[in-house]
Structure 1
Amino acid sequence: MTVRVMLISPARSTALREVRFDDEGPLDESGARRAALAADAVPGADRQLAAPDARCRETAAALGLRARPEPALRGWDLGRWRGRTLAELAEREPEAVAEWLADPAASPHGGESLRGLRERAGGWLERLAGSGGRVAAVAGPAVVRAAVLHALALPDEAFWRLDAAPLTLTELSGRAGRWNLRIGRPLEP
């Protein structure tokens, strides 16, 4: 039985605009407006889910989704780095940042490693694989990227080469351990 998983990256927030690690804050005014304008472009789904953070919940609501919270889609826990910029961290903790970028199992920030994020997103995706139907899920860019890594069996290092722009749709369809990918369709009115 084939399942189509439509991962929607949330609209912009202040943290995204300032290039800070996500602080799980709400959408900014522009992001909320753009999400509302994109509502008609969201494909229909049997199940509608959203990560529990404010940015994803608010995006789902603005898109007209009646999304239930899905804990497995929560944002990447970057521990004490939350809310800080990579440039700031590279200046203050260059060795820790280098380790984090080089080793998928590293978590010098005290949060979740890249490997842990990938396993969480991949586990969620595999649980959906046998269910069939269409699933729309609003999830942060890191979760979308980790799900793509899992679906395509890419090496962990490929994570740093992927991007999930705000209000884009990444579609995965699969069954029995085989996934196909349709990348980053913008949600536009």
Structure 2
Amino acid sequence: MTSRVTLVSPAITPSLRRARFDDGDSIEAEGAARARAAAGALPAAVRVVASPSVRCRETASALGLDASAEPDLAGLDMGRWRGRTLDEVGAAEPEAVARWLADPGAAAHGGESVRQLCARVVRWLDAERLGDGRTLAVVEPEVVRAVVVQVLGAPEAAFWRVDVPPLTATEVTGRSGRWNLRLGHALASSGDVPVH
């Protein structure tokens, strides 16, 4: 029995463009158009889910997907830093930012630590391994990072070393108690080669 999970990162938003912690903004028109163009290239899936954020739900819709919201795939809860840029927070709370970036267990912002996010995402991924067929998930970039760290058995500190561009697909396949990884290929427009 083989399980496949294709993780699609959301289209660009003003927050992503400004390196602002998600503040619930909508995807940009250009990103929505790119998602609509790529809709026909997505693989068929048994299950379709999305992070509950506005940008992931809107990206899923632009991709032509009827995705159900999956709370376990929510982005990192940034607590009081939500809606602020890293530069703003770094100027106001430099020690807290340094601690948060260096220690995966730190939650200096009063929200969720990287360790807590990784544990939550791993629970979801482990449950997916028990299924058969493909799951298509439109998820926050930090969810993709958590999956990559888990699949590679990398230390949690590697979380910040994984870049996840908008509208890319990362695939994991599970069999024999382990996952294999296929990293971040751009979503093809319907006339290009589809994602496998």
Q: Establish whether TM, by shorter chain, passes 0.5.
A: yes
CA RMSD in angstroms comes to: 1.0
**Which residue of 2 is the match for residue 130 of structure 1?**
130
Q: Secondary structure at the match of 1:31?
A: helix
**Which residue of 1 is the match for residue 112 of structure 2?**
112
CA–CA distance in structure 1, aligned partners of residues 89 and 41 of structure 2: 38
1:67 equivalent in alignment to 2:76: no
**Superposition deviation, residue 176 in structure 1:** 4.3
**Which residue of 1 is the match for residue 193 of structure 2?**
none
Please show how residues 36-115 of structure 1 align to structure 2 within 5 Å: 36-115=36-115
TM-score, with length taken from structure 2: 0.93
Give the length in aligned residue pairs: 189
Q: Secondary structure at the match of 2:107?
A: coil
**Which residue of 2 is the match for residue 178 of structure 1?**
178
Sequence identity of aligned pairs in percent?
Answer: 56
Code of the residue aligned with 2:163 in structure 1: it is D
Q: Secondary structure at the match of 1:38?
A: helix
* Contact persistence 1:130–1:175 (CA under 8 A): no
**Which residue of 2 is the match for residue 145 of structure 1?**
145
Q: Secondary structure at the match of 2:34?
A: helix
Code of the residue aligned with 1:118 in structure 2: it is C
**Which residue of 2 is the match for residue 33 of structure 1?**
33
CA–CA distance in structure 2, aligned partners of residues 30 and 113 of structure 1: 32
Q: Which runs of at least 4 in structure 1 moved beyond 3 Å after TM superposition?
A: none
1:16 equivalent in alignment to 2:16: yes
Code of the residue aligned with 1:43 in structure 2: it is P
CA displacement, residues 129-164 of structure 1 (integer Å, 9 cap, x when unaligned): 011110000000001111111122110111111011
1:7 equivalent in alignment to 2:7: yes
**Superposition deviation, residue 70 in structure 1:** 0.7
TM-score, with length taken from structure 1: 0.97
Higher deviation after alignment, 147-156 or 97-106 = 147-156
**Which residue of 2 is the match for residue 162 of structure 1?**
162
**What 5-or-longer segments of structure 2 have no aligned partner?**
190-196
CA–CA distance in structure 2, aligned partners of residues 158 and 19 of structure 1: 19
**Which residue of 2 is the match for residue 187 of structure 1?**
187
**What 5-or-longer segments of structure 1 have no aligned partner?**
none
